[in-house]
Amino acid sequence: MRFSEHRRSYTLGGLRRKDLAADPVAQFISWQEQAIAAGLADPTACALATREANDTLRQRMVLMKGVDERGLVFYTNYGSGKATALDACAEASMLFPWNELDRQVSVTGAVARVSEAESDDYFASRPRDSQLGAWASAQSQAIDSREALLAQLAEVTARFGEGEIPRPPHWGGYRLVPTAWEFWQGGESRLHDRFRYALTDDGAWLITRLQP
């Protein structure tokens, strides 16, 4: 089939200003909880867009691991491609594609590392295999083969034995501090509902309906 012929209708309901929370964090948490309740495979997954050191753009999927009034948190290797990009330009965008619900949320803002204590707490909560993986992989660096990667995993597994695994110094969290949110709900005849929350100089959120 021609890709241009692939289309569908968006019929899962509209979005009205009266239904929006005054605070975008509250609105996001409500939608995030609904995405989880709907049984989406990766409801906390989002595309993280960054500007690279050479001024190009790049996106990759990450898992959002926390949200509150301070922003949205994700974790990674500090030597990874995304971390290198954030060192060069500490601004990013996150897009949550809840396609099964005909919804999207995009968030834009500045990004900074979370505290070491916060990274320690989250790392300690991870499954042991994930902890070992954080030590074993030099994320985004070239490697000759999967066998070589498994050898690195075997080495760190033997090193830690049955003991506690500390957080690697090269691994931790980032927090995106939003300056703008957009909530998108699919609508019939492509008349989608879009609302943008923009942070004003006095710290309030200005809500604007956008044309689809």
CA torsion sign, 107 to 32 to 20 to 202? negative
**DSSP-assigned letters across all residues of the chain:** --GGG------S----GGGS-SSHHHHHHHHHHHHHHTT-SSTTEEEEEEE-TTS-EEEEEEE--EEETTEEEEEEETTSHHHHHHHH--EEEEEEEEGGGTEEEEEEEEEEEPPHHHHHHHHHHS-HHHHHHHHH--TT---S-HHHHHHHHHHHHHHHTTS--PPPTTEEEEEEEEEEEEEEE--GGG--EEEEEEE-TTSPEEEEEE--
Q: Which of 16, 17, 58, 190 is catalytic?
A: 190
Reply yes or no on whether 190 is catalytic: yes
Residues annotated catalytic, as ranges: 190
